[in-house]
């Protein structure tokens, strides 16, 4: 990894190249962090400071009042309980949906990559089609199917929808990973008498840690941040945080309070941030393993 | 110890015949090497025997039981793969015990077996490491250990030494041969390396284009190749081949010259027609030019190989190799005569390419 690019030394020298690299990285970081800083700084302002209309100013008297309001007393439609109830809803939707879609994707991907059936490639192609069709186009049929199964606007319904919509993506990622795992390993397990599922569980899953983490994170972010599916399929008792956040922001009753809105937005985003921070190491490793398309 | 009988195995892949009616009878405890160039179907044959690949027709019979429809694990055999195929996330110990765990073998037996095989292959110190922490040679030992640990009566090897360096390969070859003497299990070993075939096998099956060209002890494969392909493939340097014709009266005609062929043990001495004479480099004598029954030749160059040397001569329009002593090679003159030992030569029909 210490190999330098051919032009690097001759034109700039390694030191200048390093400096340029860091300058670019800092600029990119600032570009992405600025909106977040604005949101956080404004969420810490009391309403008087907000009314002065100076968005870029730092809070003079920082206060967590807006955060408290957003957390437990902001009005989401008729109820005024903040985003707090949504947090639990989001967790109970996201966790099982992530676990199921990731493991099922791993199983699918493994089967498609290593147990060559005659139509494996055709099946993979069909799965890929699922990636290209936008959710919006599938909403109506999905609603019809779920209502005929009496799952529309139920807890199991929303999890099923997330799992099904996530499967093409997770299957693709795992398939691409498992294509790179030598087929002889599966064959060796078969020689040892292990069944398909036993091989998957004892031999294949333990060597998939990196890709499992990557896929789980991608699924976690996707499902946690989902709004559309939650709004339509979750039902009133299970509305996720994102839906409640929108309701707070769009609440027509009472005066607008941007500081509360921003605080609610940050609270909603915190879990994904935590997940990224905790697993960043694996995530980068997984990407480096050539597992992620983008 | 088990016998294996391979009967009329046929397999094709996308219109290409990979195995063309392969027959082989393997006696209990034999060490069989399947030898051939890449793409000849030898690995496919091994996978069919193992049950990892299906075949279109034919039977695999182990100890008089037709196992053609059975899963690999039900056939009672073990296999060593070319890439070792160790389970990367498991320690060496678990790699060895996994098959027995799957089979539900009692714990004490597993421990005992693992200890036995670890001792046999001297890998006791490695038991708690992961495959990623082992060198190529150590991985190889573990892979062999995994195949041996269940004491299967048949062991299959798919080019197990091809990823090792030359020195380690030579050592492991000897060890494998010794293991076979100790364990006495039936071993079927696929390789493209003729030295492995010559040194280890009780019998060698030379394969070419999905067919078994010859199935015989290594020495007779070397001395009496059954076909032109075997003659050219086995032996280093390759057998010298001369195209010509037999006159049916004890002479082999090459261009203007002729060689007496009456010393050759023909099945039918009156055979005549287009033929190919094959002669090993050590079955040619260098003599004074013009000696009786010799053919004039011109020295092109010599190669000193340490223990002996090879002389390359231009003779009858061909470049021919002759094994020489080192001193003889150093003082070799340009113009010489070559005399072939026809009793040890091989004649092949030019049309069928089979031995005459």
Beta-carbon separation of B52 and A187 below 8 A: yes
Q: For residues B164 and B72, state if they share a domain.
A: yes
Q: For residues B225 and B263, state if they share a domain.
A: no
Nearest CA in chain B to A186: B85
CA distance A209 to A204: 10
Q: For residues B339 and B193, state if they share a domain.
A: no
Can you say how many angstroms the Cα of residue A284 is from the centroid of all Cα atoms in its chain? 15
For position A256, what pLDDT does the model report?
Answer: 74
Percent of the residues in chain B that have a pLDDT greater than 90, as a whole number: 60
Of A184, A193, A202, the CB nearest to B83: A184
Contact residues of B toward A, CB < 8 A? 50, 52, 71-73, 77-79, 81-83, 85-90, 98-99, 102-103, 146
Give burial (CB, 10 Å; 0-12/13-18/19+) of A8. middle
Asked if A249 and A264 touch (Cβ cutoff 8 Å), the reply is yes
Q: For residues B84 and B198, state if they share a domain.
A: yes
**How would DSSP label each residue in A151-172?**
-TTSHHHHHHHHHHHHHHHHHH
Nearest CA in chain B to A208: B89
- Tell me the residue range of the domain where B243 lies: 237-349
Nearest CA in chain A to B147: A192
Residue after which a domain boundary falls, among B229, B247, B274: B229
CA distance A214 to B21: 49
For position B191, what pLDDT does the model report?
Answer: 94
CATH no. for residue B265? 2.40.50.100
Query: Average pLDDT of chain B?
Result: 91
Query: Which chain B residues are within 8 Å of A198, Cβ to Cβ?
Result: 102
Q: Distances from the Cα of A68 to the Cαs of A48, A59, A76, A83, B188, in angstroms?
A: 17, 17, 15, 10, 74
Report the pLDDT averaged over residues A129-141. Answer: 88
Nearest CA in chain B to A183: B85
Whether a cis peptide bond, with omega within 30° of 0, leads into B16 is: no
Residue after which a domain boundary falls, among B229, B246, B279: B229
How far is A22 from chain B, CA to nearest CA, in Å? Answer: 35
Say whether A207 sits in a helix, a strand or coil: helix
Beta-carbon separation of A192 and B86 below 8 A: no
What is the torsional sign of CA A184, A190, A196, A199? negative
Cβ neighbours of residue A271 closer than 8 Å, sequence gap 6 or more: A90, A91, A224
Q: For residues B211 and B108, state if they share a domain.
A: yes
Q: Distances from the Cα of B11 to the Cαs of B20, B190, B213, B261, in angstroms?
A: 7, 18, 17, 41
CA-nearest of B92, B66, B72 to B5 is B66
Residue that wins the pLDDT comparison between A135 and A4:
A135
Q: Distances from the Cα of B225 to the Cαs of B20, B177, B198, B216, B344, in angstroms?
A: 20, 24, 13, 9, 11
B146: pLDDT strictly greater than 60: yes
Q: For residues B284 and B345, state if they share a domain.
A: yes
Q: For residues B243 and B224, state if they share a domain.
A: no
Beta-carbon separation of B90 and A198 below 8 A: no
**How would DSSP label each residue in A127-154?**
HHHHHHS-HHHHHHHHHHHHHHTT-TTS
Asked if residue B328 belongs to a domain, the reply is yes
Can you say how many angstroms the Cα of residue B259 is from the centroid of all Cα atoms in its chain? 32
Q: For residues B188 and B261, state if they share a domain.
A: no
Query: Which chain B residues are within 8 Å of A207, Cβ to Cβ?
Result: 87-89
Asked if residue B356 belongs to a domain, the reply is no
A7: pLDDT strictly greater than 70: no
Pick from A116, A118, A193 the residue to mutate for testing the B interface (most B CBs within 10 Å): A193
Cβ neighbours of residue A160 closer than 8 Å, sequence gap 6 or more: A146, A151
Rg from Cα positions in chain A: 24
Query: Which chain B residues are within 8 Å of A194, Cβ to Cβ?
Result: 73, 98-99, 102
How far is B322 from chain A, CA to nearest CA, in Å? Answer: 43
Query: Which chain B residues are within 8 Å of A184, Cβ to Cβ?
Result: 81-83, 85
Nearest CA in chain B to A187: B52
For position A170, what pLDDT does the model report?
Answer: 95
Query: Buried b / exposed e across B205-219, counting CB within 10 Å, b at 16+?
Result: bbbbbbbbbbbbebe
Query: Which chain A residues are within 8 Å of B159, Cβ to Cβ?
Result: none
Asked if residue B155 belongs to a domain, the reply is yes
Beta-carbon separation of B72 and A203 below 8 A: no
What the block records as the tokens of B49 is 């025997």
Asked if residue B18 belongs to a domain, the reply is yes
Nearest CA in chain B to A115: B52
Report the pLDDT averaged over residues B45-65. Answer: 91
* Alpha helix segments (H runs only) across chain A: 6-11, 14-43, 47-51, 65-68, 84-114, 120-132, 135-148, 155-179, 183-191, 196-198, 209-225, 228-233, 241-250, 258-288
Percent of the residues in chain A that have a pLDDT greater than 70, as a whole number: 90
CA distance B195 to A221: 58
Percent of the residues in chain A that have a pLDDT greater than 90, as a whole number: 49
| Phi/psi of residue A290, nearest 5 degrees | 75, 25
Give me the sheet containing B57-62, strands edge to edge: B16-26, B4-13, B57-62, B65-66
Q: For residues B329 and B183, state if they share a domain.
A: no
Cβ neighbours of residue A270 closer than 8 Å, sequence gap 6 or more: none
Nearest CA in chain A to B80: A188
In this predicted structure, which of B148-157, B189-198, B290-299 has the lowest mean pLDDT?
B290-299
Of A187, A194, A206, the CB nearest to B85: A187
pLDDT tens profile B203-236: 999 999 999 999 999 999 999 999 999 999 998 8
Asked if B108 and B118 touch (Cβ cutoff 8 Å), the reply is no
Query: Which chain A residues are within 8 Å of B102, Cβ to Cβ?
Result: 192-194, 198
pLDDT band at B347 (very low <50, low <70, confident <90, very high): very high
B180: pLDDT strictly greater than 90: yes
Residue after which a domain boundary falls, among B211, B229, B247: B229
CA-nearest of B178, B285, B182, B208 to B19 is B208
Q: For residues B216 and B277, state if they share a domain.
A: no
Asked if B164 and B136 touch (Cβ cutoff 8 Å), the reply is yes
CA distance B129 to B111: 17
Asked if residue B80 belongs to a domain, the reply is yes
Domains by residue range for chain A, with CATH = 6-73 (no CATH), 84-288 (1.10.3720.10)
What the block records as the tokens of A85 is 């109830």
| Phi/psi of residue A142, nearest 5 degrees | -65, -40
CATH no. for residue B116? 3.40.50.300
Nearest CA in chain A to B81: A184
Q: For residues B192 and B51, state if they share a domain.
A: yes
Residues across chain B: 356
Say whether A76 sits in a helix, a strand or coil: strand
Query: Which chain A residues are within 8 Å of B82, Cβ to Cβ?
Result: 184
Query: Which chain B residues are within 8 Å of A191, Cβ to Cβ?
Result: 50, 52, 72-73, 77-79, 99
A254: pLDDT strictly greater than 80: no
For position A253, what pLDDT does the model report?
Answer: 63
Tally of domains in chain B: 2
pLDDT tens profile B120-137: 999 999 999 999 899 988
CA distance A183 to A191: 13
Contact residues of A toward B, CB < 8 A? 182, 184-185, 187-194, 198, 202-203, 206-207
Asked if residue B355 belongs to a domain, the reply is no
Query: Which chain B residues are within 8 Å of A187, Cβ to Cβ?
Result: 52, 81, 85
Asked if residue B94 belongs to a domain, the reply is yes
Q: For residues B223 and B312, state if they share a domain.
A: no
């Amino acid at each position: 990894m210490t190999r330098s690019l051919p032009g690097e030394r001759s034109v700039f020298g390694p030191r200048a190249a390093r400096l340029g690299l860091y300058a670019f990285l800092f600029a990119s970081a600032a570009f992405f962090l600025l909106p977040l800083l604005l949101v956080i700084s404004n969420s810490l302002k009391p309403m008087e400071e907000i009314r002065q209309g100076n968005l870029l100013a730092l809070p003079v008297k920082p206060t967590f009042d807006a955060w408290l309001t957003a957390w437990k007393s902001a009005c989401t439609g008729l109820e005024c309980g903040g985003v707090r109830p949504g947090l639990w809803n989001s967790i109970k939707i996201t966790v099982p949906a992530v676990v199921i879609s990731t493991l099922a994707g791993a199983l699918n991907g493994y089967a498609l990559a290593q147990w060559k059936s005659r139509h494996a490639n055709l099946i993979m192609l069909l799965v890929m089609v699922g990636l290209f069709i936008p959710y919006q186009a599938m909403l109506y049929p999905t609603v019809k199917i779920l209502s005929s199964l009496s799952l529309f606007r139920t807890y199991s319904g929303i999890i099923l929808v997330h799992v099904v919509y996530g499967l093409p993506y997770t299957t693709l990622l795992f398939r691409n990973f498992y294509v790179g795992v030598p087929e002889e390993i599966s064959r060796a397990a078969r020689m040892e008498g292990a069944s398909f599922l036993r091989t998957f569980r004892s031999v294949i899953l333990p060597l998939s840690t990196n890709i499992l983490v990557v896929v789980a994170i991608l699924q976690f972010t996707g499902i946690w941040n989902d709004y559309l599916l939650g709004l339509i399929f979750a039902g009133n008792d299970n509305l996720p945080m994102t839906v409640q956040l929108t309701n707070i922001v769009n609440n027509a009753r009472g005066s607008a309070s941007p500081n509360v809105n921003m605080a609610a937005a940050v609270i909603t985003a915190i879990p994904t941030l935590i997940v990224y921070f905790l697993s960043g190491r694996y995530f980068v490793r997984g990407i480096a393993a050539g597992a992620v398309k983008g | 110890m088990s016998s294996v009988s391979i009967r009329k195995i046929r397999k094709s892949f996308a219109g290409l015949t990979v195995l063309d009616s392969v027959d082989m009878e393997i006696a209990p405890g034999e060490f069989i090497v399947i030898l051939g160039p890449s793409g000849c179907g030898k690995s496919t044959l091994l996978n069919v025997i193992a049950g990892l690949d299906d075949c279109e027709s034919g039977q695999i019979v182990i100890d008089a039981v037709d196992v053609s429809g059975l899963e690999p694990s039900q056939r009672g055999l073990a296999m060593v793969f070319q890439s070792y195929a160790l389970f990367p996330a498991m320690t060496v110990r678990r790699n060895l015990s996994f098959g027995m765990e799957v089979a539900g073998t009692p714990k004490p037996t597993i421990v005992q077996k693992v200890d036995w095989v670890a001792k046999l292959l001297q890998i006791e110190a490695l038991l708690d490491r992961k495959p990623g922490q082992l060198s190529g040679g150590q991985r190889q030992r573990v892979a062999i250990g995994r195949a041996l640990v269940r004491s299967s009566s048949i062991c299959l090897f798919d080019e197990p030494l091809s990823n090792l360096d030359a020195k380690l390969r030579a050592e492991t070859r000897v060890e494998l041969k010794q293991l076979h003497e100790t364990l006495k299990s039936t071993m079927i070993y696929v390789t493209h390396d003729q030295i492995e075939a010559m040194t280890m096998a009780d019998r060698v099956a030379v394969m070419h284009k999905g067919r078994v060209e010859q199935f015989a002890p290594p020495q007779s494969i070397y001395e009496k190749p059954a076909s032109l392909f075997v003659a050219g493939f086995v032996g280093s340097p390759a057998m010298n081949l001369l195209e010509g014709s037999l006159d049916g009266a004890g002479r082999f005609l090459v261009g203007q010259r002729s060689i007496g062929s009456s010393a050759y043990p023909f099945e039918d001495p009156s055979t005549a027609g287009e033929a190919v004479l094959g002669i090993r480099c050590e079955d040619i004598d260098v003599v004074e030019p013009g000696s009786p029954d010799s053919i004039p030749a011109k020295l092109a160059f010599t190669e000193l190989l340490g223990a002996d040397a090879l002389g390359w001569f231009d003779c009858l329009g061909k470049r021919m190799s002759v094994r020489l002593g080192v001193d003889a090679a150093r003082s070799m003159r340009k113009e010489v005569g070559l005399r072939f030992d026809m009793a040890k030569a091989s004649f092949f029909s030019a049309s069928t390419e089979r031995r005459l």
